[in-house]
């Protein structure tokens, strides 16, 4: 197994609010290795967006890092100076956003922006940067790339925009590519095409791809390993195969059961997860899933569970993980 | 079973209007065909799913059916009576409800939930003995606590806002609810709750629903029948179970095959459908789907296929539909 390219160690982030500190991320540990596609999955409020913003060092101004670090090339990237952070952002760790419309400047042609994305290559002439941009658009499946370089973002369809956003990220040749809900805004046929593209790219891209999503279909199609998050914690991690076929945390199991795509036969009533997410300002003392858990025990309400090893590369934060 | 709402040969054309006066003068007589030859029927107590990609005309269809969009041809009958004039549609709107795509945007930010859910009754001048009591009753029916009546829309979660929209839709005791993307943007566990609520209302109140969506996995479990729309043409209709088990149209097949699978063992290697849905401004001649169809022949490029009936109450619009085994 190769060494971790980036690792999140015991990271906790909270947001100041009128009601008190919202603990959006609590003691998260995860790592991405070279050549790997990892998935981070969870529902609204699980902390996945906070984690995404931490990866590219764009945490909100009211956010506080209360513990931990993100290690990349031997340094904690959260503790760098703003100028050093800028060196890493984009060039080493790039991001693909959910809404590619917002990722581009609406009043500049796409070609200009794709050239600007290669700003760090001072020695390369502009004409060569343009040629690289054209080749990259071709690579991500944009027809007639030379013509499309002159167009503006509003002139493209949603699927095309996402392809250009992927091209923009790849032009910076980052070691780590973070994709935050890359297919949520797209139709199913476009989604399939973007998944196909990302899968192809992993062969040319020798870094790690981190996919952040609430969509299990995207995880199943794309990822090697998965981290499942709930209420700010990583509750289970493992290979996609093991997580899907042998989930050890009751939340993971419930989440998979809820997804209508996994049911082969039509059902009259869809499964749901009863109850609500706990208040992230005043968290319960025991397991954060205890109130919604079908197999809850007495100790779950009093003691917070640790991560328990349940198999090779498979861990779950549940007292009952080994049952 | 007689249809509650029957649409036949519906077509909608829009006037192309550019920006500015010049463009409008030049293009005055240019029309863009959005929908053509749409035949849809919804029976009482039935859930019809309308599936299609963006730009397929799903929302235009829903708006036309409620008189919010002028149509250029075809007939629509509600409960056996034709709806055509403005008065007809006003009457129809008393018996039907529309759930808009964005729940928060469709709720007035300055009204409290209690007032929002009884607003349809106020608009239709229905007598209401006690508005607070009625609001409580409606909220209860969609599984919300009465205390939520005092909140503003921005204080609601995504799932709660959807439930408020369902409560609003139920206020007039409609017989048909048209819901545009009722679960877009919701977490899977909440999506299930909203859909179960709708299925429950169908059973207890005999409500008919038309659900517009691009989420196949969802529509498969909740709808009784589905209609597949592509670039303003109805490609296939039929009972959901049959269509999923044996899709007749190549487009339906590729849609089903495109759905991402959560099970890594079922990972797809090839791409079921390439390219993008063409623009309505550059509609391909012949079959609208031929530019992306893997089975397209010369005939498909020249001649637009007519809808043909298949056994089991199905229709398909394709020159070369998948052969269906005789009805079981």
Closest CB to B189: pick one of A158, A188, A273: A273
Taking CB atoms and an 8 Å limit, are A272 and B262 in contact across chains?
A: no
Residue B25 pLDDT:
57
Coil, strand or helix at B215? coil
- Do A262 and B262 form a contact (C-beta atoms < 8 A)? yes
B240 closest CA partner among B251, B227, B250, B230: B227
ipTM of the complex: 0.85
Question: How far is CA A175 from its chain centroid?
Answer: 15
Cβ-proximal residues to B172 (8 Å cutoff; 6+ apart), any chain: B94, B95, B97, B120, B121, B124, B126
Side-chain-facing half-sphere of A10: CA atoms under 13 Å: 4
How near does any CA of chain B get to the CA of A184, in Å? 9
Q: Is the pLDDT of residue B316 over 90?
A: yes
A161 closest CA partner among A101, A94, A95: A101
Cβ-proximal residues to A236 (8 Å cutoff; 6+ apart), any chain: A226, A227, A228, A243, A247, A248, A249, A251, A252, A315, A316, A317, A318
How near does any CA of chain A get to the CA of B125, in Å? 36
Q: Is the pLDDT of residue B109 over 60?
A: yes
Query: Chain A to chain B, count of Cβ pairs less than 8 Å apart?
Result: 125
How near does any CA of chain B get to the CA of A63, in Å? 22
Spell out which residues of chain A touch residue B265, defining contact as CB-CB under 8 Å.
241, 245
Cβ-proximal residues to B266 (8 Å cutoff; 6+ apart), any chain: A220
Taking CB atoms and an 8 Å limit, are A195 and B260 in contact across chains?
A: yes
Spell out which residues of chain A touch residue B274, defining contact as CB-CB under 8 Å.
193
Taking CB atoms and an 8 Å limit, are A217 and B259 in contact across chains?
A: yes
Residue A203 pLDDT:
80
Taking CB atoms and an 8 Å limit, are B264 and A244 in contact across chains?
A: yes
B29: pLDDT confidence band, cut at 50, 70 and 90?
A: low
Count of other CB atoms within 10 angstroms of residue A108: 12
Residue B273 pLDDT:
85
Taking CB atoms and an 8 Å limit, are A218 and B260 in contact across chains?
A: yes
Residue B129 pLDDT:
83
Residue A43 touches chain B, beta carbons under 8 Å: yes
Pairwise CA distance, residues B145 & B103, whole Å? 19
Coil, strand or helix at B236? strand
Spell out which residues of chain B touch residue A244, defining contact as CB-CB under 8 Å.
262-264
Residue B270 pLDDT:
81
Pairwise CA distance, residues B208 & A244, whole Å? 36
How is residue A25 written in tokens?
Answer: 């991320």
Pairwise CA distance, residues A81 & B282, whole Å? 52
Taking CB atoms and an 8 Å limit, are B262 and A261 in contact across chains?
A: yes
Residue B183 pLDDT:
87
Question: Sign of the C-alpha dihedral, residues A258, A264, A228, A297?
Answer: positive
- Do A159 and A193 form a contact (C-beta atoms < 8 A)? yes
Residue B17 pLDDT:
60
Residue A120 touches chain B, beta carbons under 8 Å: no
Closest CB to A261: pick one of B222, B255, B259: B259
How is residue B180 written in tokens?
Answer: 């545009």
Q: Is the pLDDT of residue B274 over 90?
A: no
Residues in chain A with pLDDT values less than 50: none
| Tens-place pLDDT, residues B30-81 | 788 899 999 999 999 999 999 998 888 998 999 999 999 999 999 999 999 9
How near does any CA of chain B get to the CA of A211, in Å? 14
Helices (H), A16-93: 48-55, 82-88
Question: Cα Rg for chain A, rounded, in angstroms?
Answer: 21
Closest CB to B261: pick one of A221, A223, A269: A221
Rounded to the nearest 10°, the torsion over CA A244, A257, A291, A287 is: 0
Spell out which residues of chain A touch residue B217, defining contact as CB-CB under 8 Å.
217, 259-261
- Among B145, B260, B266, B271, most A C-beta atoms within 10 A, so best to mutate, is B260
Pairwise CA distance, residues B204 & A138, whole Å? 55
Taking CB atoms and an 8 Å limit, are A220 and B254 in contact across chains?
A: no
Dihedral class, residue B319 (left if φ above 0, else alpha if ψ from -120 to 50, else beta) = alpha
Taking CB atoms and an 8 Å limit, are B260 and A192 in contact across chains?
A: yes
Residue A191 touches chain B, beta carbons under 8 Å: yes
B326: pLDDT confidence band, cut at 50, 70 and 90?
A: very low
Q: Is the pLDDT of residue B215 over 90?
A: no
Spell out which residues of chain A touch residue B54, defining contact as CB-CB under 8 Å.
158, 187
Closest CB to A219: pick one of B191, B259, B262: B262
Pairwise CA distance, residues B30 & B17, whole Å? 8
Domain A4-92+174-316, CATH homologous superfamily name and number:
P-loop containing nucleotide triphosphate hydrolases (3.40.50.300)
Residue of A nearest to B265 (CA): A241
Spell out which residues of chain A touch residue B277, defining contact as CB-CB under 8 Å.
187, 189
| Range B136-148 average pLDDT | 91
Residue A44 touches chain B, beta carbons under 8 Å: yes
What residues of B are in the A interface, CB distance below 8 Å?
Answer: 53-54, 158, 187-193, 195-196, 199, 214-218, 220-222, 240-241, 244, 254-255, 258-268, 271-274, 276-277
Spell out which residues of chain B touch residue A218, defining contact as CB-CB under 8 Å.
260
Residue B328 pLDDT:
39
Return the residue matching tokens 């032009």.
A171
What fold is seen in the domain B3-95+174-274? Rossmann fold (3.40.50)
| Structural domain spans, chain A | 4-92+174-316, 106-173
How near does any CA of chain A get to the CA of B259, in Å? 6
Residue A294 touches chain B, beta carbons under 8 Å: no
Residue A273 touches chain B, beta carbons under 8 Å: yes
DSSP-derived secondary structure letter, A277: P
Residue B16 pLDDT:
66
pTM: 0.89
Residue A275 pLDDT:
87
Taking CB atoms and an 8 Å limit, are B199 and A269 in contact across chains?
A: yes
Residue A312 pLDDT:
94
The DSSP string of B168-211 is: HHHTT--SEEEEESTTTT--HHHHHHHHHHHHHHHHHH--EEEE
- Among B145, B181, B186, B189, most A C-beta atoms within 10 A, so best to mutate, is B189
| Structural domain spans, chain B | 3-95+174-274
Taking CB atoms and an 8 Å limit, are B187 and A270 in contact across chains?
A: no
The mean predicted confidence, pLDDT, of chain B is 89
């Amino acid at each position: 197994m190769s060494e971790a390219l980036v690792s999140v160690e015991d990271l906790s982030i909270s947001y100041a609010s009128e009601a008190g500190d919202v603990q959006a991320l609590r003691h998260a540990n995860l790592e991405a290795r070279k050549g790997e596609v990892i998935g981070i999955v969870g529902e609204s409020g699980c902390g996945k967006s906070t984690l995404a913003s931490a990866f590219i060092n764009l945490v909100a101004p009211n956010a506080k890092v209360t513990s931990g670090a993100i290690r990349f090339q031997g340094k904690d990237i959260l503790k760098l100076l703003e100028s050093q952070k800028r060196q890493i952002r984009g060039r080493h760790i790039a991001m693909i956003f959910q809404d590619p419309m917002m990722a581009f400047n609406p009043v500049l042609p796409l070609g200009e922006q794709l050239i600007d994305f290669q700003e760090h290559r001072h020695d390369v002439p502009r004409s060569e940067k343009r040629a690289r941009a054209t080749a990259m658009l071709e690579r991500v499946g944009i027809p007639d790339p030379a013509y499309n370089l002159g167009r503006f973002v509003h002139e493209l369809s949603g699927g095309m925009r996402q392809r250009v956003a992927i091209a923009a990220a790849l032009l910076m040749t980052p070691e780590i590519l973070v994709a935050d809900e890359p297919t949520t805004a797209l139709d199913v046929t476009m989604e399939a095409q973007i998944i196909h593209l990302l899968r192809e790219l992993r062969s040319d891209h020798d870094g790690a791809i981190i996919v952040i999503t609430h969509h299990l279909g995207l995880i199943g199609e794309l990822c090697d390993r998965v981290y499942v998050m709930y209420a700010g914690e990583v509750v289970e991690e493992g290979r996609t195969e093991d997580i899907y076929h042998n989930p050890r945390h009751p939340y993971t199991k419930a989440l998979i059961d809820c997804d209508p795509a996994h049911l082969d036969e039509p059902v009259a009533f869809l499964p749901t997860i009863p109850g609500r997410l706990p208040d992230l300002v005043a968290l319960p003392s025991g397991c954060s899933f205890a109130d919604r858990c079908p197999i809850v025990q007495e100790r779950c309400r009093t003691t917070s569970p640790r991560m328990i090893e349940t198999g090779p590369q498979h861990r779950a934060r549940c007292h009952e993980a080994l049952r | 079973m007689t249809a509650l709402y029957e649409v036949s040969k519906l077509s909608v054309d829009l006037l192309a209007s550019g920006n500015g006066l010049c463009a409008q003068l030049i293009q005055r007589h240019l029309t863009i065909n959005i929908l053509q030859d749409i035949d849809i029927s919804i029976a009482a107590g039935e859930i019809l799913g309308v599936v299609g990609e963006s730009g397929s005309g799903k929302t235009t269809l829903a708006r036309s059916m409620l008189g919010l969009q002028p149509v250029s041809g075809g007939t629509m009958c509600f409960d056996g009576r034709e709806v055509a004039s403005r008065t007809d549609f006003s009457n129809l709107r008393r018996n039907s409800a529309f759930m808009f795509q964005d729940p928060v945007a469709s709720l007035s930010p300055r009204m409290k939930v209690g007032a929002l859910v009884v607003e349809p009754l106020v608009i239709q001048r229905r007598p209401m003995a006690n508005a607070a009591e009625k609001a409580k009753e409606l909220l209860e029916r969609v599984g919300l606590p009465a205390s939520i009546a005092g909140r503003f829309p921005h204080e609601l979660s995504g799932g709660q806002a959807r439930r408020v929209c369902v409560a609003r839709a139920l206020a007039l005791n409609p017989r048909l609810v048209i819901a545009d993307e009722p679960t877009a943007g919701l977490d899977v566990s909440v999506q299930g709750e909203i859909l179960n609520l709708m299925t429950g209302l169908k059973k207890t109140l005999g409500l008919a629903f038309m659900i517009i969506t691009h989420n196949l996995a969802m529509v498969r479990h909740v709808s009784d029948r589905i209609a597949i729309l592509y670039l303003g043409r109805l490609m296939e209709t039929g009972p959901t179970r049959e269509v999923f088990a044996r899709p007749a149209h190549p487009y339906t097949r590729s849609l089903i095959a495109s759905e991402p699978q959560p099970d890594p063992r079922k990972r797809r290697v090839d791409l079921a459908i390439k390219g993008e849905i063409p623009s309505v401004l550059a509609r391909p001649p012949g079959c609208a789907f031929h530019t992306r169809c893997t089975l397209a022949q010369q005939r498909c490029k020249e001649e637009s296929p007519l809808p043909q009936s298949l056994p089991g109450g199905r229709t398909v619009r394709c020159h070369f539909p998948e052969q269906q085994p005789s009805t079981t």
